Chain A
Amino acid sequence: MKFNIPIGPQHPALKEPISIRLTVEGEVIQDADLRLGYNHRGMEKLAEEKSYIQNIYLTERICGICSHSHSTCFVQGVEKLMEIEPPRRGIYLRYLVGELERVHSHLLWLGVAGHEAGFDTFFMYTWRDREIVMDLLEMISGNRVHYAINTVGGVRRDVDEALRKKILDGLAILRTRSEYYLKIGASEPTFVGRLAGVGRLTKQQAMDLCATGPTAKASGVALDVRKNDPHAFYDEVDFDVITADSCDVLGRTVVRIKEVLESYKICEQILAKLPDGPIAVKAPRKAKPNEVVSRYEAPRGENIHYIVSNGTDKPERLKVRAPTLGNYVATIEMLRHGFIADVPLIFAAIDPCVCCAERSVELIDGKSGKERILRFSDLRRMANERFRTLPLQRNVAWPF
């Protein structure tokens, strides 16, 4: 007998509305389906009615964790449309915030992964240390989440010598902590035992289903826009693209911790080479009719904006693709033939909960395929009845 288990769209354990429908047989997931659109805000339509400057703040609100990556992707595209070149100091500061954002996003994810794996100490540790990078971001931009530091032609706030030193001190602490997390993530037996082999996605599947970011990297696909299509100054800094070939949640965890270590390396290079000069140039209000494709490596994967200008101060079209959408098809594949108990781990970034799923299940008769909706009270009654009418068995051998 197959069960359909719906999770969401509105659910106490889900931070964002999404509907996951699982078809299970026993404990094993046979099929999964996603329904999206519960949080569709029509931003692409809205962007056509707003000026380029207003759109910076609109795109920043696409995501509440990697807000800077969307506004940077938009701004670097608009700068190409307006044919202006931001000053070097402005570029360095923009991507300094970008790399610190990657650190904060990955530390957040690590905490969630630890929590879902039942390792709450790890969650407490990573989220405590995440405060260091959140404080640094607040000192640089004045805000913890929506930094609002980008503008067309550069950045809006400068970093002075005292702050530069504070950032370097913070990075030194974070580096020692992250090295410790790498040791835990890769060698703590209970943690490794929980994550290894869960949510498998082979390299071929990751390539076919166009997975991106750490999901693809953990399956051995070295796709990283910073290396493949270096935007701004990424061809001048020294860093490695981290990949793993274990194709499971453990690989994704290790990739993220190692990526954080690469980010510290990039941040230190930025701060060591920080050029003098202005942080922004004055930008025109309008852009000539043209088109541009802007790509950016967000913490979750490749972020792409396609902007068409029409000679006015508003874009003709702004197409946004956030990395999570690219990973949904792969997520369905990861869930398939997994256990129900692994769903939260596989979905960790979205964070659903199965045990307290909605209070109704759909029963499909395995033979006839007929569907019935049952309440939990009915199920309990059926189960009790079955056990009451079961013939009494004597001298039964314990199967284990």
Chain B
Amino acid sequence: MNDIDKIEKLKTFVDPAAITNPAPRRIFVTVEPKNLVSFTAKLKAELDCWYVSTISGVDKGEIYEILYHFGDTTGSIHIRTRITKADPKLPSLCAVIPGVVLYERELQDMFGIVVENLSDPRPLLMSDDWPAGNFPLRKDWKFERPDEIIPGGKK
């Protein structure tokens, strides 16, 4: 299946204006967060897209842009969705594609996005004593090295 066939198929269940094809084998589809799970289920059933490479989050000022990178045997489809910073909530795709759990947990750690109905919502990368409310990949977050305290060390 080449890009043209895939776009034709996508047009049957998504608004044609939401589909872009900037490079060969790269199709971008913009989807509302509330339609994400149903769209992914359709993508899996009709276009045989079951492999998610990763999920990228981008901080764009007032909004977060989340990209789900799907790969298949003839190219890749990238689902783009946007959520506001004021209400950073996303539905979980774990029910459709169980393999995304680590990427969704990473998204929670790095951006403070709440992924709803996540099968395993524990922190993935942050240490147990990581201060709450610190989300490193937000643009307004700057790293400040804390004073080093050596237990039993010099005063």
Report Cα–Cα, A321/B78, bound state, in Å. 15
- A210-B58 contact in complex given A45-B137, A223-B51, A306-B69, C-beta closer than 8 Å: no
Interface of B is mostly: mixed
Q: Is B33 an interface residue (CB 8 A)?
A: no
Q: Which of A210, A212, A293, A330 contacts B26 (CB 8 A)?
A: A293
Q: Is A28 an interface residue (CB 8 A)?
A: no
Establish whether residues A228 and B75, one from each chain, have CB atoms under 8 Å apart when the complex forms.
yes
Q: Which of A40, A208, A225, A308 contacts B97 (CB 8 A)?
A: A208
Establish whether residues B125 and A37, one from each chain, have CB atoms under 8 Å apart when the complex forms.
yes
Q: Is B35 an interface residue (CB 8 A)?
A: no
- A229-B97 contact in complex given A295-B71, A306-B56, A317-B56, C-beta closer than 8 Å: no
Instruction: Name A302's closest neighbour in chain B (CB-CB).
Output: B53
Instruction: Name A321's closest neighbour in chain B (CB-CB).
Output: B54
Q: How many A-B residue pairs have CB under 8 A?
A: 90
Report chain A residues within 8 Å CB of B101.
Answer: 329
Q: Which of A44, A225, A227 contacts B137 (CB 8 A)?
A: A44
Q: Is A64 an interface residue (CB 8 A)?
A: no
Report chain A residues within 8 Å CB of B13.
Answer: none
Report Cα–Cα, A398/B69, bound state, in Å. 59
Instruction: Name A205's closest neighbour in chain B (CB-CB).
Output: B98
Establish whether residues A326 and B71, one from each chain, have CB atoms under 8 Å apart when the complex forms.
no
Mask, A35-73, CB within 8 Å of B = 1, is 011001010110000000000000000000000000000
- Interchain nearest-CB distance for B3 vs A (Å): 11
Mask, A139-167, CB within 8 Å of B = 1, is 00000000000000000000000000000
- Interchain nearest-CB distance for A342 vs B (Å): 23
Q: Is A325 an interface residue (CB 8 A)?
A: yes
Q: Is A234 an interface residue (CB 8 A)?
A: no
Q: Please indicate which of the listed interface residues A209, A222, A293, A328 has the most CB atoms of chain B within 10 Å of its own CB.
A: A293
Establish whether residues A306 and B67, one from each chain, have CB atoms under 8 Å apart when the complex forms.
yes
Report Cα–Cα, A222/B48, bound state, in Å. 14
Q: Which of B53, B59, B74 contacts A326 (CB 8 A)?
A: B53
Q: Is A207 an interface residue (CB 8 A)?
A: yes
Q: Is B50 an interface residue (CB 8 A)?
A: yes
Mask, A198-217, CB within 8 Å of B = 1, is 00000000011111100000
- Interchain nearest-CB distance for B57 vs A (Å): 8
Establish whether residues B125 and A80, one from each chain, have CB atoms under 8 Å apart when the complex forms.
no
Report Cα–Cα, A183/B51, bound state, in Å. 33
Interface residues on B, range: 35 or more
Q: Is B115 an interface residue (CB 8 A)?
A: no
Report chain B residues within 8 Å CB of A228.
Answer: 71-75
Q: Is A133 an interface residue (CB 8 A)?
A: no
Establish whether residues B71 and A223, one from each chain, have CB atoms under 8 Å apart when the complex forms.
yes
Interface residues of A in 292-346 (CB under 8 A from B): 292-293, 295, 302, 304, 306, 308, 316-317, 319, 321, 325-326, 328-330
Instruction: Name A307's closest neighbour in chain B (CB-CB).
Output: B56
Mask, B59-95, CB within 8 Å of A = 1, is 1000000010101111110100000000000000000
Report chain B residues within 8 Å CB of A302.
Answer: 53, 71
Mask, B29-62, CB within 8 Å of A = 1, is 0000000000000000000001111101111000
Report Cα–Cα, A292/B23, bound state, in Å. 9
Q: Is B124 an interface residue (CB 8 A)?
A: yes
Q: Please indicate which of the listed interface residues B71, B76, B78 has the most CB atoms of chain A within 10 Å of its own CB.
A: B71
Report chain A residues within 8 Å CB of B125.
Answer: 36-37, 40
- A42-B69 contact in complex given A80-B23, A228-B74, A306-B56, C-beta closer than 8 Å: no
Report Cα–Cα, A79/B119, bound state, in Å. 39
Report chain A residues within 8 Å CB of B123.
Answer: 37
Residues on B facing A (Cβ under 8 Å): 23, 25-26, 50-54, 56-59, 67, 69, 71-76, 78, 97-103, 110, 123-127, 136-137, 143
Name 29 A/B residue pairs within 8 A (Cβ), A-sorted: A36-B125, A37-B126, A37-B127, A42-B143, A45-B136, A208-B97, A208-B98, A208-B99, A210-B52, A210-B100, A212-B53, A222-B73, A223-B51, A223-B71, A228-B72, A228-B74, A229-B71, A293-B78, A295-B76, A304-B53, A308-B58, A316-B58, A321-B54, A321-B69, A325-B54, A326-B54, A329-B98, A329-B101, A330-B99
In the A-B complex, the 3 residue pairs with the smallest Cβ-Cβ separation, listed nearest first, are A210-B99, A321-B54, A37-B125
Other than the given A212-B53, A228-B74, 12 more pairs (CB < 8 A) read A37-B125, A37-B126, A42-B143, A80-B23, A207-B51, A208-B50, A210-B99, A227-B73, A228-B71, A229-B25, A293-B26, A325-B54
